Chains A and B, each alone.
Chain A
């Protein structure tokens, strides 16, 4: 009787451990699947971001520090690095940047704001600047489209 009862209780205990272990295996598998999905999704968006013909950047709209950008954006502003691009933005007149800052701070977005930008190589480019604020921080994601007109100065 003692042996039988002990066997039953012990079997329940072992079954319980087996259930816990199997459940953990399933949870880990699901977690790994999710991580893999996120990684693939990140790769897709990274490719989209880097290969886009439109200029894209993540920036702080109060300090104009550029956090991330793509190659198209650097090409549009004739910049070599993120720092270079950041410098070009901060050198723009206040009346150009001010409406962007105010709109992002108040409404959280700005749509097709026109910027005229004089490049060092003697041409002026016209851009449409759209941006959306990223959460509650002072960060925003911008999409910049180069307009067709390029005119020479003078």
Chain B
């Protein structure tokens, strides 16, 4: 099966936030540096995912690892950004719960040959709700335009990507059963949203406030 052109663009778009973070390394704070490192790791994992896909080897375990790192990294960012103590505790709790759930899930099938729909959906839901909470808090606290705040772009990127791909991830195995061609058509949704989100994440590095 030929890999669609949009998939190439989606994979390449991971370079944008990594480049953004590295080029602004001296001007960004520690959580944003962690965010940059995450994107560098994401680029590597994306290459691995791509190569495995090309070779016809199941790459779901790479997706699983990537998703765990992504969730933990975003929650870490939100944890550091929020100043409210109860919110910090909730985010910390969500981080722990997701990590434990992921570990339990992966311990049964370390190299799955299909998508781990439940854990992927749960992670997306956690990210959606935490992003909504962060944007609401940002709206209350911000004294400057939201466009100047990096967390706004990160929150937007996460909401757009996670909501846009929620159903696609949740139904990925069902789609696979319908046929690879059909799956690839629907997977365009994921690639499209990934490109949009990566552009938004990259934009977050060119803000006044971090």
Residue ranges of A at the interface with B (Cβ–Cβ < 8 Å): 2-3, 5-6, 9-10, 12-14, 16-17, 20-21, 23-25, 27-28, 31
Contact = CB atoms under 8 A, between A and B. Distances in A.
Contacts of A5: 167
Nearest to B140: A27
B189 A3 contact: yes
A117 to B, nearest CB: 48
Given A2-B167, A2-B168, A5-B167, A16 B142 contact: no
**Interface SS of A by simple majority:** helix
A20 B164 contact: no
27 contacts: A2-B168, A2-B186, A2-B189, A3-B186, A3-B189, A6-B164, A6-B167, A6-B168, A9-B163, A9-B164, A10-B160, A10-B193, A12-B163, A13-B160, A13-B164, A14-B160, A16-B132, A17-B156, A17-B159, A17-B160, A20-B135, A24-B139, A24-B142, A24-B146, A27-B139, A28-B144, A28-B145
Contacts of B136: 20
A25 B166 CA distance: 29
B10 to A, nearest CB: 16
Contacts of A9: 163-164, 166-167
Interface of B: 132, 135-136, 139, 142-146, 156, 159-160, 163-168, 171, 175, 186, 189, 193
B145 A2 contact: no
Contacts of A14: 160
B11 to A, nearest CB: 21
Contact of A10 (B135, B146, B164): B164
B159 A13 contact: yes
Nearest to B175: A2
Given A3-B189, A6-B164, A16-B132, A21 B159 contact: no
Contact of B159 (A6, A16, A23, A25): A16
Contacts of B171: 2
A20 B136 CA distance: 8
A24 B145 contact: yes
B184 to A, nearest CB: 13
Contact of A20 (B146, B163, B168, B175): B146
